[in-house]
Structure 1
Amino acid sequence: MTSTSPAPTLERLGEGATVELLGVVKEYSGVRALDELSLTIRPGEFVALLGPSGCGKTTALRALAGLEQITAGAIRIDGVDVAGVPVNRRDIGMVFQQYSLFPHLTVQQNVEFGLQMRRVSASDRATRAREALEMVSLDHLSERYAHQMSGGQQQRVALARALVTRPRVLLLDEPLSALDAKVRVSLREEIRRIQTELGITTVFVTHDQEEALAVADRVAVMRSGGIEQIGTPEELYLTPATPFVADFVGVSNRMRGSLVSGVVTVRGSRLPSIDPALPNGEVLAFVRPEDIVFVPASSTAPGDFSGTVASTSFLGSLRRTTVRLDDDTIVSVQHSVEERFEFGDAVTLRLTGRPVASSPVEG
């Protein structure tokens, strides 16, 4: 049946939907890609699934979309189990890594396509497509074809096409990985702006930690089909729950130390342990580059240690310098651009004393 009612605008979509994955299992030939994965996403929340290749993040997204049938568990949207519901009835918008635009259709026609499948009237389709294209700043290119547009523009079209149907949930499967660095940063900020304005519940899959930390309300770090830790970007970076998270999120130096009663001693400095349950013994401490500072030779103190500059890199707003210590350990130091060092310079370092994650040294 063709709709003849006035076309509503792409206004804020209320509070968004609640998404729940409850004990989800997905097996391929007896191998678990998802191992009793449980995750609750609040209405209007932007959650990133972050992890290395093969951790299950894309499988989780495809299961939520209905593109993969789960082996066990439940998937609920606003309390309704959708595990057996076909893709086209889940009311989900999805943007893939590949733009998947129809080459024989114009931008306007590509965006209208989902509405056409829903038998929305031609006038309503045109109005809603224009509104979606305005949202992604492409209304002036509505008559172009895909081959006439840049990669970033094509991905904006894909985003408009996903949003024009007003889905309850938006799924983004590594949508920025094919773009160059500058376009990637610009588009991720635009995605976040649009998501916030619409209030749509969003799941974003990426292997790029910077992307995840920059845009998400919460980040779920995945490993071997499960969630290693979920929290705000600040929580994951400052208080990683496991050595895997500490090592995967951000940059960390691995420095040998000893743990006694919740305090890790590394090169004479006493650092609070993030994990109070870790048993006493020899450990590898994960020390962030910004938690090591250079000390003038005239200001040395007990616990300072020396090394030789191995390399230094200018990163725009900061520098990162690697130092070889006396036992051949290599550490990375993040510091201001005003501090400049050359290869072979003798330097003195100091730990700032911030809490650290650590893992037992085996053997």
Structure 2
Amino acid sequence: MAAPTSGASVELADVVKDYGTGSLALDSLSLHAQPGEFVALLGPSGCGKTTALRSVAGLESVTSGRISIDGYDVTTQPTNKRDLGMVFQSYSLFPHLDALANVEFGLRMRKVPTDERRERALESLEMVGLGGFGKRFAHQLSGGQQQRVALARALVTRPRVLLLDEPLSALDAKVRVQLREEIRRIQTELGITTLFVTHDQEEALAVADRVAVMRAGRIEQIGTPESLYTQPATTFVAEFVGLSNRLPGLVSGGFVEVYGVELPLLDPTVAKGPATVYLRPEDVEIVGCAGGAAGGAGAAGSGLLTPQIRGTVVSSSFLGSIRRSTVRLPDGELIAVQHGVSVKPASGENVSLRFTGACVSVSPREAPSSVAA
């Protein structure tokens, strides 16, 4: 295993990227990653996350603003002067070279002596779990193995910053989970500052120290995965990160009333009036169901004396460790409920629901909403 490296800080200060299309790809974007930190850039297609990463890499020139690595301005420096390792969605392996030669390539360009080059390349392949695959060519490797070779190639130069642009999106679900865990393990052991671009919120929440949720070239909110999920700063973050029911409510005095239940607000200063309430499925319990023991996952059995709400089960899906059911309320609203697998509501069954009393975020209500996000 390679010795831990010293990760570098990465800072984007008021970075603007204008392609001349009428809207900014990056709109005064500011971000600071601490040495050794793993930061995920998360957002929908077109939000600017890949442009931000390519700007750090030097593959995109910026219209204005400043990019610095370890306090040094690299805004106008070429890519090969920035001490970076990069892994992209496409594996980009040289088909005429075997895995070991692919990993050695960057060291060859740096004129590292042959013996040292071979030793470091073998070490990098071992690090990503491909110690015995050095003589295989790309067509002899699976997609996951090819991406591991690409990761080894990025790490072999011992960069202080690692840039990952949706490196797992072309892989199947099981391999994707395995490789993201490997990336996190290696990143932690080596101490490399890492920027990871993804549109998959599960990936971002699973591996990152902090997640920056982007929208229209700006960072909507940045924070730990837990804080983004439990304390979204904006309605966009509340809707984009995780699953939320959108229900009608009425705000007053730091609370919002939803179907006769007063729920505390994440932001108690919200102005009173009609609102859309963003309620997580795990913050709703099934307390009356013929198909198994009553109670939900997470806050089940909390004993909160909140009014019960009647509804009819539309569907219920088994998701392994949990079930998620959709219930239609008397006014036609649909509400998603996340609960334990021992509760097995049948389609068409009448059930009772109860809110756990968790804090919720809201937005001013402009039009009726009837779909669980």
Same fold, TM exceeding 0.5? yes
Distance in 1 between the 2:75 and 2:254 partners? 44
Moved over 6 A (4+): 297-301
Matched, 1:221 2:225: no
In structure 1, runs of 5+ residues without a counterpart are 1-8
2:201 equivalent in structure 1: 209
Q: Determine if contact 2:263/2:358 at 8 Å carries over to the other structure.
A: yes
TM-score, normalising length: structure 2: 0.93
Q: Residue 321 of structure 2: which of 317, 321, 329 is its match?
A: 317
1:5 equivalent in structure 2: none
Q: Residue 85 of structure 2: which of 87, 90, 93 is its match?
A: 93
Change (3 A) 1:278 1:300: closer
Matched, 1:161 2:153: yes
- Counterpart of 1:239 in structure 2: which amino acid? Q
Matched, 1:127 2:127: no
1:181 equivalent in structure 2: 173
- Counterpart of 1:148 in structure 2: which amino acid? Q
Q: Determine if contact 2:14/2:66 at 8 Å carries over to the other structure.
A: yes
Q: Secondary structure, in 3 states, of the residue corresponding to 1:141?
A: coil
Give how far 1:295 is off. Answer: 1.5
Matched, 1:21 2:21: no
Q: Secondary structure, in 3 states, of the residue corresponding to 1:270?
A: strand
CA offsets 1:183-239 (integer angstroms, 9 cap, x no match):
000000000000000000000000000000000000000000000000000000011
Give how far 1:88 is off. Answer: 1.0
CA offsets 1:295-331 (integer angstroms, 9 cap, x no match):
1389996621111000000001010000011111111
Distance in 2 between the 1:300 and 1:281 partners? 26
Matched, 1:140 2:132: yes
Matched, 1:360 2:352: no
Q: Determine if contact 1:108/1:142 at 8 Å carries over to the other structure.
A: yes
1:333 equivalent in structure 2: 337
Q: Secondary structure, in 3 states, of the residue corresponding to 2:187?
A: helix
Q: Determine if contact 1:292/1:350 at 8 Å carries over to the other structure.
A: yes
Give how far 1:31 is off. Answer: 2.4
Give 1:264-283 correspondences, 5 Å limit: 264-283=256-275
- Counterpart of 1:203 in structure 2: which amino acid? L
CA RMSD of aligned residues (A): 1.4
Q: Secondary structure, in 3 states, of the residue corresponding to 1:310?
A: strand
Distance in 2 between the 1:137 and 1:317 partners? 29
- Counterpart of 1:153 in structure 2: which amino acid? Q
Q: Determine if contact 1:10/1:164 at 8 Å carries over to the other structure.
A: no
Distance in 2 between the 1:150 and 1:301 partners? 54
Distance in 2 between the 1:259 and 1:241 partners? 17
Q: Residue 350 of structure 1: which of 316, 329, 354 is its match?
A: 354
Q: Determine if contact 1:66/1:86 at 8 Å carries over to the other structure.
A: yes
Give how far 1:362 is off. Answer: 2.2
- Counterpart of 2:19 in structure 1: which amino acid? Y
Give how far 1:20 is off. Answer: 0.4
Identity of aligned residues (%): 64
Q: Determine if contact 1:256/1:266 at 8 Å carries over to the other structure.
A: yes
Distance in 2 between the 1:10 and 1:110 partners? 18
Q: Determine if contact 1:318/1:335 at 8 Å carries over to the other structure.
A: yes
Q: Determine if contact 1:34/1:59 at 8 Å carries over to the other structure.
A: yes
Q: Determine if contact 2:304/2:356 at 8 Å carries over to the other structure.
A: no
Distance in 1 between the 2:271 and 2:118 partners? 64
Q: Residue 253 of structure 2: which of 250, 256, 261 is its match?
A: 261
Q: Residue 288 of structure 2: which of 296, 310, 321 is its match?
A: 296
Q: Determine if contact 1:236/1:245 at 8 Å carries over to the other structure.
A: yes
Distance in 2 between the 1:210 and 1:343 partners? 28
Matched, 1:235 2:230: no
Q: Determine if contact 1:285/1:356 at 8 Å carries over to the other structure.
A: yes
Q: Determine if contact 1:96/1:174 at 8 Å carries over to the other structure.
A: yes
Distance in 1 between the 2:72 and 2:166 partners? 27
Distance in 2 between the 1:160 and 1:296 partners? 53
Matched, 1:31 2:23: yes
Distance in 2 between the 1:241 and 1:277 partners? 13
CA offsets 1:59-80 (integer angstroms, 9 cap, x no match):
0000000000000100000100
Give 1:62-101 correspondences, 5 Å limit: 62-101=54-93
Distance in 1 between the 2:351 and 2:239 partners? 26
Q: Secondary structure, in 3 states, of the residue corresponding to 2:136?
A: coil
Q: Determine if contact 2:180/2:207 at 8 Å carries over to the other structure.
A: yes
Distance in 2 between the 1:123 and 1:156 partners? 23
2:187 equivalent in structure 1: 195
1:245 equivalent in structure 2: 237
Q: Secondary structure, in 3 states, of the residue corresponding to 1:295?
A: strand
Q: Determine if contact 1:306/1:346 at 8 Å carries over to the other structure.
A: yes
Give how far 1:275 is off. Answer: 1.8
Change (3 A) 1:200 1:300: closer
Change (3 A) 1:61 1:300: closer
Matched, 1:59 2:56: no
Give how far 1:266 is off. Answer: 0.6
TM-score, normalising length: structure 1: 0.95
- Counterpart of 1:76 in structure 2: which amino acid? S
Aligned residues: 354
Give how far 1:277 is off. Answer: 3.1
Give how far 1:124 is off. Answer: 1.0
In structure 2, runs of 5+ residues without a counterpart are 295-302, 368-373
